Amino acid sequence: SDVFNILLQILDDGRLTDSHGRTVDFKNTVIIMTSNLGSQYLLEGITATGEIKPEAKTAVMRELRAHFRPEFLNRIDEIVLFKPLTLEEIKKIVDLQVGYIQERLKDRGITFILSEEAKEFIAKEGYDPVYGARPLKRYIQRKLETVLAKKIIAGEVPDGSHINIVVREGDLDFEIVPPVREELEAAVV
């Protein structure tokens, strides 16, 4: 309730005043608010071409009106409905997250490649349409980053190694290719 009153003050007056009389000007500010309200209708309300069905949009708007007071909704310039991510978009997120891990392993000369099957496996297992892409990041941390870290600490992945990450028996499998002696010496120098 207090948050909505503060937002009403910002959206109505374009400024916010605290209890000491200090004012913050929001007149040239874009405020973006997000919500998962009505997301269940969007999950089921997508056409084969990826468009939001009119009845899904109506259901989401009905849910918004039931949750927020009219004086709040009347101050919002635009409401944008987002479509659920596609498998291809999720795989791009996997690529980004994996890229961060690859970058951190560079100083040790360790490289890895995720097979297309492994990428799709991670995308399907880690993504939750209700919660979005955040569970995907946690899944990658748990199933890829933590496993790699434990293998490095245990000495299973020496510096300069290459790892092929594939799917085997319903889970990720790490095929470790240790460096040949010359590559190891070059990596150390």
Q: What pLDDT shows up at residue 46?
A: 82
Q: What pLDDT shows up at residue 185?
A: 58
Q: What pLDDT shows up at residue 4?
A: 83
Residue 13: pLDDT band (50, 70, 90) is confident
Q: What pLDDT shows up at residue 188?
A: 59
Question: Is the pTM above the cut of 0.85?
Answer: no
Q: Does 1 have pLDDT greater than 80? A: no
List, for residues 36-59, the tens digit of each pLDDT value: 888 888 888 888 777 899 999 999
Give the per-residue SS3 of the chain.
CHHHHHHHHHHHHCEEECCCCCEEECCCCCCCCCCCCCHHHHHHCECCCCCECHHHHHHHHHHHHHHCCHHHHCCCCCCCCCCCCCHHHHHHHHHHHHHHHHHHHHHHCCEEEECHHHHHHHHHHHCECCCECHHHHHHHHHHHHHHHHHHHHCCCCCCCCEEEEEEECCEEEEEEECCCHHHHHHHHC
Q: Give all domains of the chain, ordered by start, each with its CATH number.
A: 2-73 (no CATH), 87-188 (1.10.8.60)
Q: Is the pLDDT higher at 50 or at 105?
A: 105
